[in-house]
Amino acid sequence: MNTWIAIGATALGCYAAKLAGLLVPAGALERPLVRRLAALLPVALLAALTAQQTFADGHTLVLDARAAGLAAAAVALVLRAPFLLVVAAAVVVTAGVRAMGG
Amino acid sequence: MTEQTALADSRAGHGEKPDGAVVRDALGVGVAVGLSGFAFGVTSAGSGLTPVQTCVLSLLVFTGASQFALVGALAAGGNPLTAAAGAFFLGVRNAFYGLRLSQLLALPRAVRPFAAHWVIDETTAVALAQPTRRSARLGFTVTGLSLYLLWNLTTLLGALGAEAIGDTGAWGLDAAGPAVFLALLAPMLRSTTERAVAGLAVLLGLGLLSVLPAGVPVLVAALAAPAVLYVTGRRRGGARDLAEPGPVEKEDR
């Protein structure tokens, strides 16, 4: 049930955000400070999420195979690999390290 | 209205772009990103969501980063509304894409509630890259349609596939989520400001992990954005700097 509540709230919230952009008069959200904040907000969230989903196990920090996988993804990004290849690199390396007992 | 035509005119100077070329560009993005719905389906199933819940997310939320964030937060045992809040804040950027698109596409009011569902990173990037309103509309529609169909199809396949695979961890599939976030984040780290925000957010997100309930540290980490903005604004003498939108302001990724 909790999962459905989360799904419903996310669907409503995300749709409202998308629709708001198309409906509000141009200029309402165009204040430079608001725009800068909107551009930086995903940077903060994505960075925190990347770190947590790589190094967190419940409430503790761990260094496991996922870190190697993320490093592989970073290398792929530096080499300008396409999106799917970046994700695949992380998955394959993580699985490989785990298979070797890492 | 003047703004709309000015925008269209400045782009028309580059000449018409053949419809075929627009469709090719749009399909390229739509297919490549649409296929990554598989990673979402697998991750969501690995987080404990049922295939139905996973598919409803892709059908109704349809903005990848928010979907990954939500299932990640739920897997970590977060409160449902805290988890939804993190996903929502990630989705707020789509409102700013919508602002740009509403001027560029000049959609009739009746169409907007339907078009809104497709206002995401990829459709915005393709539409903004087009030289004319006609090709922007075409690019937006083809990217949106191909991405929506594929994303939902591959989500279903991923969710069902994960059930068949069993332990998704053994296949390293739990690394797909953070890799997706990193791939979305990397092109945003253009200047010192972005890097400072990212660095501070990582410190907050990891540092508060052991002391706050699941899902909350990410919300606190979001405060890195206003904090860094405040500090850089002060250092450079405040309002003058903020009044001049630089290249950093381009929201398309």
| A85 CA: distance to closest CA in chain B (Å) | 10
Confidence of residue A102 (pLDDT cuts 50, 70, 90): low
Query: What ipTM was reported for this prediction?
Result: 0.90
Q: What residue in A sits closest to B106 (Cα-Cα)?
A: A22
Is the CB of residue A102 less than 8 Å away from at least one CB of chain B? no
The per-residue pLDDT for B9 is: 41
Rounded average pLDDT over B60-88? 93
pLDDT-derived band of residue A41, with 50, 70 and 90 as boundaries? confident
Total Cβ atoms within 10 A of residue A63: 10
Tokens (6 digits) for B189: 């780290």
Distance (Å, whole) CA B118 – CA B48: 27
Shortest CA distance to B49 belongs to which of B163, B157, B167? Answer: B163
Instruction: For residue B244, give the 3-state DSSP assignment.
Output: coil
Task: Using alpha carbons, select from B147, B187, B183, B69 the residue that is nearest to residue A74.
Answer: B183
Instruction: Tell if the CB–CB gap between B70 and A10 is shorter than 8 Å.
Output: yes
pLDDT band at B247 (very low <50, low <70, confident <90, very high): very low
For residues B205-227, give the mean pLDDT.
Answer: 91
What is the band of B237 on the pLDDT scale with cuts at 50, 70, 90?
Answer: low
- Mean pLDDT confidence for B3-8: 42
Quick check: A79 contacting B, CB < 8 Å?
no
Q: Which two tokens stand for residue B12?
A: 């028309």
Tens digits of per-residue pLDDT, B106-149?
999 999 999 999 999 889 988 988 899 999 999 999 999 999 99
Of A29, A69, A73, which has the smallest distance from its Cβ to B95's Cβ?
A29
DSSP secondary structure code for residue A61 in this structure: E
Alpha carbon B1 to its chain centroid, in Å, reads 28
Predicted local confidence at residue B252, as pLDDT: 39
Q: Indicate yes or no: CB of A9 within 8 angstroms of CB of B223.
A: no
